[in-house]
Amino acid sequence: MAKTYPSFSSPTIDQVGAEERAARFTKRSIKKAAKVQALKLALNMVDLTTLEGADTPGKVQQLCQKALHPHLGYPGLPTTAAVCVYPTMVRVAKNLVKGSGVKVAAVATAFPSGQAPQDVKIRDTKYAVSEGADEVDMVISRGKFLSGEYEYVYDEIAAIKEACGKARLKVILETGELGTLDNIRKASDIAILAGADFIKTSTGKISPAATMPVTLVMLEAIRDYYFKTGTMIGMKPAGGIRTAKQAVHYLVMVRETLGQDWLTNQWFRFGASSLANNLILQLIKQRDGVYGSMDYISKD
């Protein structure tokens, strides 16, 4: 693989303007049928996630059940898009979701810090893929990025992409550590040019995780790349999106920034652990007119 660091320039970002634009999406009023449609769509875009040192096969098995059957009391609900686990849990998950359409995503490359030698990261990635991961969520080397070693970051992403083989690569920028929207835009451009299939905001281990202005800047990077090349890149905000209302705001933002073609779980995902149940709660409210008890909604 001889991809060389390309010459490109990222546009500057005005933070105040980006925040204002992001806030505008939250003013859209999504009601009735449009809301139900959005809630189901969002549920179908969730990467149901467990990324704990304490994860066990038992815990992952339960998570997979939840992904396949989000809520028995609401027939016809879609599954989530994927389950997202550590590489060592991939095989357990893969066996459980086989044939369902639910993907298995593995975080790799010394998640969440990314502080490991590159060969270790490549081995980590290859291991996850060999265990059956459909998707790999890698972290960029933020330390290298912040010290200006953009070529290193680029080369590393390209190397991981190669190690992924057929698995789709999501590149986590860990935007909460990048400091400015200008940096986030630049990191997005580097990731896309280096071969990311998806760009993703956060590991969920750092605060702030996903925010709307950050996601907007990344969506705009995806849009600009599409304008230039006709190639679609996916987007995954992760961490901090806990309520159905937030999820709907994100969908509005995707719809009005990238259009209809991105409104599918092939191109947009939510990395979240508690969002699914809030979506279910709101779906029940829309159907029955009243909120149900959370005791009727499974907590896996």
Q: Which residues are part of the catalytic machinery?
A: 137, 200, 236
The closest alpha carbon to 178, from 222, 114, 273, 106, belongs to: 114
Minimum Å distance from CB 120 to other proteins?
A: 27
- Crossing angle of the two packed helices 181-194 and 150-164, in degrees rounded to 10: 40
- Which neighbouring-strand residues pair with 236? 200
Q: Classify residue 76 by its DSSP letter.
A: T
The residue (of 110 and 232) whose beta carbon lies closer to other proteins is: 232
User: Could you tell me if 13 and 185 are in contact, meaning their C-beta atoms sit under 8 angstroms apart?
Assistant: yes
The residue (of 41 and 96) whose beta carbon lies closer to other proteins is: 41
The residue (of 29 and 293) whose beta carbon lies closer to other proteins is: 29
User: Could you tell me if 97 and 64 are in contact, meaning their C-beta atoms sit under 8 angstroms apart?
Assistant: yes
Residue 25 and residue 280: Cα distance in Å, rounded?
Answer: 23
- Which neighbouring-strand residues pair with 208? none
CA distances to 93, 103, 148, 221, 280 from 50, rounded to whole Å, are 11, 14, 32, 28, 19
- Crossing angle of the two packed helices 275-288 and 244-257, in degrees rounded to 10: 90
Residue 210: strand, helix, or coil: coil
Exposed e or buried b per residue across 96-134, where buried means at least 16 C-beta atoms within 10 angstroms of its C-beta = bbeeeebbbbbbbbbbbbbeeeeeebbebbbbbbebbbb
Minimum Å distance from CB 262 to other proteins?
A: 9
The residue (of 11 and 165) whose beta carbon lies closer to other proteins is: 11
The residue (of 11 and 73) whose beta carbon lies closer to other proteins is: 11
Minimum Å distance from CB 58 to other proteins?
A: 37
- Work out whether strand 82-85 and strand 103-107 pair parallel, antiparallel, or are unpaired: parallel
Minimum Å distance from CB 220 to other proteins?
A: 5
Minimum Å distance from CB 92 to other proteins?
A: 29
Residue 37 and residue 33: Cα distance in Å, rounded?
Answer: 6
* Residues within the interface to other proteins (CB under 8 A): 11-14, 16-18, 20-21, 27-35, 37-38, 41, 197, 220, 223, 226-227, 229-233, 251, 255-256, 258-261, 263
Minimum Å distance from CB 140 to other proteins?
A: 19
The residue (of 44 and 50) whose beta carbon lies closer to other proteins is: 44
